[in-house]
């Protein structure tokens, strides 16, 4: 799996802080906060693999992984799959343990809630002597530190019984993993939701009751749909599903969007009544039934049409389920959530919307041409909705602003950053560069294909680093005569590559690219198929007479690769005919303001910057302005010009102003002029000059007020190069006469 940039950063952070805490005495806690859909399990798997292989950390480790409900079984399956090729860690249940102990680099998985019960078979003493206390005792006798991982810790991990169990386990390090942690840690690692959105792993936002007015009153959201019936809520959800399906078809994505209708976890006999009512509405009004496969049910003791519901092209259109049952369940095509008044709580948190956050094709990320597909939707007739003070407050949008119907296109060229993953890992580009360098260095004539002896220094280094357990149990004499082959030879080759990867982190993907480059070289130059001649190729590479030629080629290839990536990072992507978005959505931090000349109606503001607020008042008073737009500051949605500050970056200009004369102004107001604005000012100046040569009618620049305290002076802007800027003087600034 190709790790995302934020995942690599989180793994590095986890490694650093875990090693630090394990170096202290006593029981320490590490909190890992990551939003739903960010890949918490994959990040933890890669972190554990890197921890046990870290050459700076020599302490033998055993692991316990706990999770609520049946999530521990899903986690075990995921980790086993992740470690399938490397065999880095062993995943076990209690019955899989050997000698009633957790082995080195072994993870014991169990259900947190069941083990929490004092009469559990693995807690109480038994004839087989297979209980948690004995297992922990046997494990510690072998001088291994124990790391306890509590997955989805917000479920009962802070209950009194859970605290008692944590004390009994007395792990050297406890790692709490959740989108909403409940424990306090000695250290914390955070994955921010904005980074996860940027990588296209999750939706950009969740929309609450689209096309219905929502009003925030004393911290509670009152929605126009709150007066509607269950039938009306279902109708709106199905209408949105139809719209989304049309967009997916135009995108040719092959995705059938899924509606989730969530029943309350505990409503007694009301559950059956509500379930039957929903089934009847779907069948009578929309021909969505269990029989035709369009309706699935996932309730306690009732699993209907659920087998393939997770597949993107599944024919199931609606799933009735419970949150408790669906814990840890992933269905990326789920995009609409329906909740009714009888739901157990009107408080929304990130856990509420977790099932509809994922993007259905994370490798593709967000859809550039169909922005509605990048959103998730909630329809509910709940009243007095509260949004919990966690990341959901920013993620759930309750207001919508639409572009005015009399808007005339501006057709501006806009720029935005490309996503560059190559900085921290090798991409397929490295293979091409390696082959070019090998040809330039005449590597073909320098290496000896007929050598048989492996370099003893390589084997010695391997023993020192102990990167694998392949030699475990061998005596010193047998180690001296050790002749690696097969799996052991592969590990030697891996170690050789890892040792020569700096400054790139030696993760599996980058290691694989170097190995693939070497195999490709032998195939192209010598006709040696690595599938048949793999051992022969490795022995040739690692031989003392040859290895330095390969090291030199790898080093030069890395240098050229870095130069190519640096060139790519200087580039920005562009949109030739950018126009102001048709609609924008805002969360509960924004308030509605009456602004007649705003292109977006109604206008919403968070009132963060005084300068912007007063500049808007200035724009509203002008008789020459037709419309203005308050720009945003992210991705390709909003307008940006390129500027240079060590490398090319997008400058999101705050305001786009359309004059009645047809001219378009680009303005970025600031309270005081700072030298930091020089590169941006030059970027905006160059952009305006270049676009006007193509026939545009643009003007603008950095804006300020001559009265820096009360803003009662003249509004002026700088429309020259920064070389002409005079310190502490507005002499060569231009009056903004609008």
The pair of three-digit structure tokens given for residue 535, joined into one six-digit string: 């051992």
Please check whether residues 204 and 158 belong to one and the same domain: no
The pair of three-digit structure tokens given for residue 280, joined into one six-digit string: 């009847």
Is the residue at 406 inside a domain? Answer: no
Q: Whole-angstrom Cα distance, residue 512 to residue 500? A: 13
In this prediction, residue 126 carries a pLDDT of: 54
In this prediction, residue 475 carries a pLDDT of: 45
Taking a C-beta distance cutoff of 8 angstroms, is the pair 278, 230 a contact?
Answer: yes
pLDDT tens track for 199-240? 899 999 999 999 999 998 888 899 999 888 999 999 999 999
Q: What burial letters (b/e) apply to 704-720, b meaning 16+ CB within 10 Å? A: bbeeeeebeeebbbbbe
- Those residues whose C-beta lies under 8 Å from the C-beta of residue 490, and which sit 6 or more positions away, are 534, 538
Q: How far is CA 413 from CA 219, 537, 546, 655, 719, in A?
A: 41, 52, 53, 15, 19
Is the residue at 269 inside a domain? Answer: yes
Q: How far is CA 357 from CA 207, 332, 378, in A?
A: 11, 8, 11
- Burial status of residue 579 (CB atoms within 10 A of its CB: 0-12, 13-18, 19 or more): middle
Please check whether residues 548 and 651 belong to one and the same domain: no
CATH number at residue 138: 3.40.50.300
pLDDT tens track for 599-636? 999 999 988 888 899 999 999 999 999 999 999 988 88
In this prediction, residue 166 carries a pLDDT of: 81
Under DSSP, the state recorded for 454 is: P
In this prediction, residue 122 carries a pLDDT of: 56
Is the residue at 424 inside a domain? Answer: no
Please check whether residues 648 and 715 belong to one and the same domain: yes
Is the residue at 256 inside a domain? Answer: yes
Q: Where are the beta strands (DSSP E) in 104-182?
A: 106-111, 145-151, 173-178
Among 554, 569, 584, identify where a domain stops.
569
Please check whether residues 600 and 722 belong to one and the same domain: yes
Q: How many helices (H) and strands (E) does the chain have?
A: 21, 34
Please check whether residues 361 and 257 belong to one and the same domain: yes
Query: How large is the average pLDDT for residues 321-328?
Result: 71
Q: What are the helix (H) ranges across 269-390?
A: 270-286, 350-353
Under DSSP, the state recorded for 710 is: T
Residues in the chain: 738
Q: Which long-range contacts (CB under 8 A, 24 or more apart) does 722-728 make?
A: 722/678, 722/679, 722/681, 722/682, 725/673, 725/678, 725/681
Q: Whole-angstrom Cα distance, residue 337 to residue 687? A: 44
Q: Whole-angstrom Cα distance, residue 296 to residue 290? A: 6
Is the residue at 87 inside a domain? Answer: yes
CATH number at residue 340: 3.40.50
pLDDT tens track for 152-176? 876 665 556 667 778 888 999 999 9
Please check whether residues 717 and 635 belong to one and the same domain: yes
CATH number at residue 588: 3.40.1350
How high is the mean pLDDT of the chain? 86
- Those residues whose C-beta lies under 8 Å from the C-beta of residue 473, and which sit 6 or more positions away, are none
Please check whether residues 160 and 221 belong to one and the same domain: no
pLDDT tens track for 672-681? 655 568 899 9
The structural domain count of the chain equals 4
How many CB atoms within 10 Å of residue 455? Answer: 20
Peptide bond into 602 cis (omega under 30): yes
Please check whether residues 212 and 158 belong to one and the same domain: no
- Taking alpha carbons only, the member of 210, 227, 230 closest to residue 285 is 230
In this prediction, residue 346 carries a pLDDT of: 76
Which range of residues forms the domain containing residue 462?
429-569
Is the residue at 405 inside a domain? Answer: no
Q: Whole-angstrom Cα distance, residue 680 to residue 667? A: 12
Please check whether residues 48 and 124 belong to one and the same domain: yes
Among 196, 226, 245, identify where a domain stops.
196
Helix (H) / strand (E) element for 578: namely strand 572-578
pLDDT tens track for 427-468? 788 999 999 999 999 999 999 888 766 655 555 555 444 444
Please check whether residues 664 and 701 belong to one and the same domain: yes
pTM metric for this prediction: 0.76
Among 175, 196, 217, identify where a domain stops.
196
DSSP collapsed to 3 states, 108-126:
EEEEHHHHCCCCCCCCCCC
Q: Whole-angstrom Cα distance, residue 487 to residue 174? A: 34
Is the residue at 403 inside a domain? Answer: no
pLDDT tens track for 513-561? 899 999 999 999 999 987 788 888 998 999 888 999 999 999 999 999 8
Please check whether residues 115 and 236 belong to one and the same domain: no
Taking a C-beta distance cutoff of 8 angstroms, is the pair 183, 166 a contact?
Answer: no
Higher pLDDT, 86 or 370: 370
Please check whether residues 270 and 384 belong to one and the same domain: yes
Is the residue at 213 inside a domain? Answer: yes
State yes or no: pLDDT of 640 exceeds 50. yes
């Amino acid at each position: 799996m190709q790790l995302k940039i934020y995942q690599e950063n989180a793994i590095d952070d986890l490694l650093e802080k875990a090693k630090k805490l394990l170096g202290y005495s006593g029981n320490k806690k590490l909190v890992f906060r990551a939003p739903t859909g960010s890949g918490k399990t994959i990040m933890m798997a890669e972190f554990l693999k890197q921890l046990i292989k870290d050459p700076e950390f020599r302490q033998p480790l055993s692991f316990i992984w706990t999770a609520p409900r049946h999530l521990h079984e899903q986690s075990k399956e995921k980790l086993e799959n992740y470690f399938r090729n490397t065999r880095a860690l062993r995943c076990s249940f209690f019955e899989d343990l050997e000698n009633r102990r957790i082995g080195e680099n072994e993870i014991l998985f169990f259900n947190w809630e069941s083990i929490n019960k004092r009469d559990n078979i693995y807690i109480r003493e038994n004839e087989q002597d297979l209980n948690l206390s004995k297992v922990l005792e046997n494990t510690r006798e072998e001088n291994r530190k124990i790391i306890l991982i509590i997955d989805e810790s917000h479920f009962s991990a802070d209950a009194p019984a859970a605290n008692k169990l944590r004390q009994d386990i007395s792990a050297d390090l406890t790692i709490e993993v959740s989108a909403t942690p409940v424990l306090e840690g000695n250290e914390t690692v955070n994955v921010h939701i904005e980074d996860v959105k940027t990588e296209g792993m999750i939706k950009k936002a969740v929309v609450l009751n689209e096309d219905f007015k929502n009003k925030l009153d004393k911290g509670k959201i009152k929605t126009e749909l709150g007066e509607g019936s269950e039938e009306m809520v279902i109708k709106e959800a199905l209408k949105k599903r139809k719209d989304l399906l049309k967009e997916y078809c135009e995108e040719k994505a092959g995705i059938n969007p899924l509606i989730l209708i969530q029943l309350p976890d505990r409503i007694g006999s009301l559950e059956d009544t509500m379930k039957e009512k929903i089934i009847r509405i779907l069948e009578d009004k929309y021909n969505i039934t269990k029989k035709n496969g369009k309706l699935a049910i996932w309730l306690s003791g009732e699993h209907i049409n659920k087998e393939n519901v997770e597949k993107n092209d599944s024919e199931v259109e609606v799933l009735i389920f419970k949150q408790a049952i669906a814990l840890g369940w992933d269905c990326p095509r789920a995009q609409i959530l329906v909740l009714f008044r009888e739901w157990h709580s009107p408080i929304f948190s990130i856990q509420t919307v977790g099932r509809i956050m994922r993007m259905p094709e994370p490798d593709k990320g967000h859809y550039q041409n169909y922005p509605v597909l990048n959103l998730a939707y909630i329809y509910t007739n709940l009243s007095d909705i509260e949004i919990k003070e966690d990341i959901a407050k920013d993620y759930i949008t309750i207001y919508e602003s639409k572009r005015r119907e009399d808007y005339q296109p501006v057709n501006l060229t806009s720029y935005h950053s490309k996503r560059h993953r190559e900085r921290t890992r090798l991409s397929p580009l490295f293979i091409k560069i390696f082959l070019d360098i090998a040809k330039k260095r005449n590597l073909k004539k320098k290496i000896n294909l007929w050598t048989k002896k492996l370099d003893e220094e390589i084997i010695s280094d391997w023993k020192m680093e102990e990167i694998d357990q392949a030699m475990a149990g061998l005596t010193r004499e047998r180690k001296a005569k050790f002749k690696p082959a097969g799996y052991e030879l592969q590990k030697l080759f891996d170690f050789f590559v890892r040792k020569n990867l700096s400054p790139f982190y030696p993760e599996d993907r980058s290691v694989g690219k170097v190995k693939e480059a070497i195999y490709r070289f032998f195939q192209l130059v010598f006709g040696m198929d690595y599938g048949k001649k793999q051992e022969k190729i490795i022995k040739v590479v690692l031989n003392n007479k040859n290895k330095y030629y390969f090291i030199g080629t790898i080093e030069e290839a890395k240098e050229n690769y870095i130069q190519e990536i640096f060139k790519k990072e200087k580039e920005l992507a562009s949109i030739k005919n950018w126009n102001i978005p048709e609609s924008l959505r805002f969360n509960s931090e924004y308030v509605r303001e009456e602004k007649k000349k705003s292109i977006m109606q109604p206008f919403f503001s968070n009132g963060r910057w005084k300068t912007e607020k007063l500049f808007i008042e200035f724009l509203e008073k002008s008789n020459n302005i037709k419309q203005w737009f308050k720009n945003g500051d992210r991705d390709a949605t909003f307008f940006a010009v390129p500027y240079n500050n060590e490398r090319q970056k997008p400058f999101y200009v705050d305001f786009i102003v359309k004059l009645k004369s047809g001219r378009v102004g680009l303005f970025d107001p600031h309270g005081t002029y700072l030298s930091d604005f020089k590169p941006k000012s030059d970027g905006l100046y160059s952009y305006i000059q270049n676009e006007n040569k193509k026939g545009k009618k643009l003007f603008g620049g950095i804006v300020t007020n001559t009265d820096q305290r009360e803003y009662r002076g003249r509004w002026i802007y700088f429309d020259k190069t920064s070389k002409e800027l005079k310190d502490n003087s507005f002499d060569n600034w231009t009056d903004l006469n609008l």
